[in-house]
Amino acid sequence: MEFTVCGGQVPPPAAHIQKSKPLRMYLLYLDGSGSVRNPNERHFVLAGVAVFERQFYHLISRTDQFIASLGLGAVHDVELHASVMASGRKGPWKGMVRQDRLAAIEDSLDLLKSAHWSVKAFAVAVDKQAASPNDPVEHAFEEVCNRFNLFLTRLWNRDEEKHRGLVVMDKSHYEETLQGLARRFREEGTRWGNLRNLAEVPMFVDSNASRLIQIADLLAWAVWRRYEHSDTRYFDRVVSRFDAEGGVIHGLVHFKPPTEECMCPACLSRARRDRT
């Protein structure tokens, strides 16, 4: 159908124009657990939660409500930091008995366990010897960025809706290095190809100002406890939240020596896939 005004063509009405779908945004909040330089620790873990743009408010509000229920003082003065909660070495956790502190960690992880279905967990556990001489932090960061990018790609393939991702991390002395790595990944690609779905280099924030960084800290600590000490008490509460499809856990990666057998959920799910 043509529309003319004074002998010239004009665009058709808006109803005849095909609208493009809006971009949607996921933010991946990341934090680490384990010491890179401590020779007595075998593993370093980088873990985080990917939250859809419409779910930030709900998860943050539920976290604040939980903290208020603990009665530890002003909500915004209380930070959920797993190693501090476990040790009780400072802050409001210092006056709480150990059993209650550990229960608070479990209850905090349950906030992730019961979050909206669109919230996904990601983690990379790196055996530092297996990664040597490479930096385990850089190795974990490349792997988790790739996993996040693949997750966003699957959303496009499934829903035909374009999703962009942004990584948000706790401030650390790795800030400059990881920003440079992310820029290189975006321009030159990784070992697995280009990260076309990541919108920018990572943003770095103070953990005490971000509830979602605090959730990432709890997750990283739970994963680290699983691999470093074979302690599944905390890990088992959130294992169902790792990004997965077709029986394969894509969001959890265990980087270990190739000759070492492992029965963790990540390794088992890939072994089952490879046998089929």
Domains and CATH numbers, the chain: 8-275 (3.30.420)
Task: Answer whether residue 5 shows pLDDT above 50.
Answer: no
Q: Hey, what are 232's tokens?
A: 């599944």
For the full predicted model, state whether its pTM sits above 0.75. Answer: yes
Instruction: Identify which has the larger pLDDT, 30 or 275.
Output: 30
CB pairs under 8 A, 24+ apart, for 39-43?
41/128, 41/228, 42/127, 42/128, 42/129, 42/227, 42/228, 43/125, 43/126, 43/127, 43/128, 43/224, 43/227, 43/228
For residues 113 and 158, the answer to whether their CB atoms sit within 8 Å is no
What is the rounded CA–CA span in Å between residue 212 and residue 103?
19
What does the mean pLDDT of the chain come to? 86
Task: Answer whether residue 6 shows pLDDT above 50.
Answer: no
Which region among 2-6, 48-52, 248-252 has the lowest average model confidence (pLDDT)?
2-6
Task: Answer whether residue 64 shows pLDDT above 50.
Answer: yes
Q: At what angle do helices 136-159 and 175-188 cross, to 10 degrees?
A: 50
For residues 242 and 115, the answer to whether their CB atoms sit within 8 Å is no
Q: Classify 175 as helix, strand or coil.
A: helix
Residue 269 CA: distances (Å) to CA of 85, 154, 177, 254, 274: 32, 18, 32, 11, 9
For residues 214 and 75, the answer to whether their CB atoms sit within 8 Å is no
pLDDT in tens, 27-40: 999 999 999 889 99
Q: Hey, what are 81's tokens?
A: 């930091």
